[in-house]
């Protein structure tokens, strides 16, 4: 990974932090995207020490704000002339409905619209890489709904945090399929993955009870792992992204093709999809 430039959103904790550190240890130049200045600096300083790689830096952005996303892309382009790997990882679940500064429902804005906007703003520098990879972190939670509620994307009629999260993750899956189709012939490979239940800070924004319920559910399901183990599903994508021929179909068939690969996820053969 020497000479490769990588951006990881949500890189100050959990899987994003483990991802950034692993790439740093491989010798890549890492841009960690975080919301908090102090936490981002502390995280990056520690990564530099642990990895022995001084080419680790950070950029600050609240990815629920489209203004911040535009500024993030601008700052990156001012400092770097290409991007080899983009990991769209930042996301959250919200028990109560919240609205962003732009007026969008928070879950959909942070978990999906941020992926969509940042990726499109960085497509030119990804193309300049010649062989770039886009990795969208989705979730197996998307099987909890039958489809996208296009008549209520902002969950104004009824809000259930679990459903809003599942919808945002299904949107990640559909976005990746279409992105992959549109990028054929560009040298960019788009992939998505569903990490296992991970022991991290996920759900702590809703309070400790919500976090405990989240952890307990995965413990009882027997699929709770640490961030480092969850990271293994990404490793092969960085070095050998798999490509799949995208077939025409509706949301149900797209979801079925994605889910069929989930049981095949191993350290050697991650359950992902792409072109």
Mean pLDDT for all residues in the chain:
78
H/E element, 46: helix 37-51
- Residue 165 falls in the annotated catalytic set: yes
- What's the pLDDT at 232? 62
pTM, to two decimals:
0.77
Classify residue 241: in a domain, yes or no. Answer: yes
Classify residue 220: in a domain, yes or no. Answer: no
* CB-based burial, 137-171: b 16+ in 10 Å, e otherwise: bbbbbbbebeebeeeebbbeeebebebbbbbbbbb
CATH at 45 = 3.40.50.720
Classify residue 221: in a domain, yes or no. Answer: no
Classify residue 35: in a domain, yes or no. Answer: yes
The tally of domains found in the chain comes to 1
> Do residues 30 and 55 make contact, with C-beta atoms less than 8 angstroms apart?
yes
Q: C-alpha angle with apex 75: 237 to 33, nearest 5 degrees?
A: 45
Nearest-angstrom CA–CA distance, 41 and 248: 45
- What's the pLDDT at 236? 53
- What's the pLDDT at 181? 87
Selected catalytic residue, list 58, 104, 115, 165 = 165
Range of the domain at 49: 5-91+102-195+230-273
Classify residue 161: in a domain, yes or no. Answer: yes
> Do residues 261 and 273 make contact, with C-beta atoms less than 8 angstroms apart?
yes
Classify residue 209: in a domain, yes or no. Answer: no
Classify residue 206: in a domain, yes or no. Answer: no
Classify residue 250: in a domain, yes or no. Answer: yes
Flag whether pLDDT at 39 surpasses 70. yes
């Amino acid at each position: 990974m020497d000479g490769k430039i990588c951006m990881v959103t949500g890189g100050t904790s959990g899987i994003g932090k483990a991802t950034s550190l692993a790439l740093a240890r491989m010798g890549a130049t890492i841009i960690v995207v975080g919301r908090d200045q102090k936490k981002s600096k502390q995280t990056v300083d520690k990564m530099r020490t642990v990895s022995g790689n001084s080419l680790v830096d950070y950029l600050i952005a609240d990815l629920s704000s489209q203004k911040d996303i535009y500024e993030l892309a601008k700052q990156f382009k001012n400092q770097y002339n290409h991007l080899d790997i983009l990991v769209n990882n930042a996301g959250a679940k919200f028990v109560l409905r919240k609205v962003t500064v732009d007026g969008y429902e928070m879950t959909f804005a942070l978990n999906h619209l941020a992926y969509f906007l940042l990726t499109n703003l960085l497509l030119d520098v990804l193309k300049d890489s010649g062989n770039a990879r886009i990795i969208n972190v989705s979730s197996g939670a998307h099987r909890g709904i039958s489809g996208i509620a296009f008549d209520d994307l902002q969950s104004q009629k009824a809000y259930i945090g679990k459903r809003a999260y599942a919808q945002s993750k299904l949107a990640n899956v559909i976005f990746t399929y279409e992105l992959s189709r549109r990028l054929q012939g560009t040298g960019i490979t788009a992939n998505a993955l569903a990490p296992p239940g991970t022991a991290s800070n996920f759900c702590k924004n809703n309070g400790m009870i919500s976090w405990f319920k989240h952890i307990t559910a995965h413990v009882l399901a027997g699929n709770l792992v640490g961030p480092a183990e969850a990271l293994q599903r990404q490793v092969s994508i960085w070095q050998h992204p798999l490509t799949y021929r995208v077939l025409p179909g509706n949301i149900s068939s797209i979801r079925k093709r994605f889910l069929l690969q989930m049981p095949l996820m191993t350290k050697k053969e991650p359950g992902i999809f792409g072109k």
